[in-house]
């Protein structure tokens, strides 16, 4: 059966790979990207008006309820306000705007592109994450302050926590929400970063148990599965696909046990 999927950031990098793979499988894709990139819907997701335009544009092109959304658009910058606007607020506003269409479907999927950097970067300020989750953007920006080099990780961590906090509620409407956490992916952007005098040495130092980083097509295969009927019982999960970077460094602290009292557990179980 052909499905209709919307993809933000659909015209380059992983978004383009997601698009090409879904179209190869016979699905219709409504791409959302900046003007001049050839997407069906053009919008600047860093602004509220742009997000509203993205939602309206997608709905105008749908002949039936959406089958799924890949929230893929994102940037890495030291401008924390810009990063939070696109990577966090932009994703949430677009997903909330498309939620009624997704809920009208009997088994819709939402997939969020996160990053393995939230697992392997030291010193991510938890308070900034908490402020984003509470809608306190200015406070989050203030806390990041001189640590603007971690605003990307803050945005991705907050987004995953937002997703997990709502996964059950959305699942009751027939919408499963999950996230993928890629690491370094072989794209033109990575090639540019490799020749950067600051980023290049860091990327080359990353562990590669398989001998190479995954290509965008490798990530696209996982995305297609998580959007499929076979993934209907996967809810609120984060799937890391980084060729073994994260497990090379954190092989002993995951999974961890649930530190909860028996009485609290009984309350959760409603026993």
Asked whether the bond before 174 is cis by omega within 30 degrees of 0, the reply is no
d(CA 268, CA 259): 13
Instruction: Decide: helix, strand or coil at residue 239.
Output: strand
For residues 84 and 140, the answer to whether their CB atoms sit within 8 Å is yes
User: CA-CA-CA-CA torsion for 16, 20, 26, 31, nearest 10 degrees?
Assistant: 20
**What does the block give as tokens for 86?**
């696109």
User: CA-CA-CA-CA torsion for 13, 15, 17, 23, nearest 10 degrees?
Assistant: -150
Q: Mind telling me the catalytic residues? A: 152
For residues 239 and 180, the answer to whether their CB atoms sit within 8 Å is yes
**What does the block give as tokens for 265?**
């557990």
**What does the block give as tokens for 241?**
């696909």
Which residue in 69, 86, 91 sits closest to 152, CA to CA? Answer: 86
The stretches of 12-85 forming alpha helices (DSSP H) are 13-24, 48-61, 80-83
**What does the block give as tokens for 193?**
């970063």
d(CA 162, CA 155): 10
């Amino acid at each position: 059966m052909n499905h209709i999927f919307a993809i933000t950031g659909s015209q380059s990098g992983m978004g383009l790979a997601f698009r090409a793979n879904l179209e190869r499988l016979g699905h219709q894709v409504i791409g959302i990207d900046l003007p001049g990139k050839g997407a069906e819907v053009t919008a600047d997701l860093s602004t509220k008006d742009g997000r509203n335009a993205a939602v309206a544009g997608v709905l105008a092109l749908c002949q039936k309820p959406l089958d799924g959304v890949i929230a893929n658009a994102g940037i890495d910058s030291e401008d924390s306000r810009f990063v939070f606007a696109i990577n966090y607020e932009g994703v949430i506003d677009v997903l909330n705007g498309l939620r009624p269409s997704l809920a009208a479907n009997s088994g819709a999927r939402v997939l969020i592109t996160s990053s393995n950097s939230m697992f392997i970067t030291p010193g991510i300020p938890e308070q900034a994450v908490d402020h984003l989750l509470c809608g306190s953007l200015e406070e989050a920006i203030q806390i990041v302050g001189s640590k603007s080099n971690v605003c990307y990780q803050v945005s991705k961590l907050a987004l995953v926590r937002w997703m997990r906090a709502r996964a059950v509620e959305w699942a009751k409407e027939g919408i499963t929400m999950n996230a993928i956490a890629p690491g370094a992916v072989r794209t033109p952007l990575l090639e540019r970063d490799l020749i950067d005098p600051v980023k290049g040495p860091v990327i080359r130092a990353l562990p590669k148990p398989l001998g190479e980083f995954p290509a965008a097509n490798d990530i696209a295969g996982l995305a297609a599965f998580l959007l499929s009927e076979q993934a209907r019982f996967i809810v609120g999960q984060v799937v890391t696909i980084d060729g073994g970077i994260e497990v090379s460094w954190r092989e002993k602290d995951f999974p961890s046990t649930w530190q909860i009292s028996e009485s609290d557990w009984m309350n959760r179980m409603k026993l």
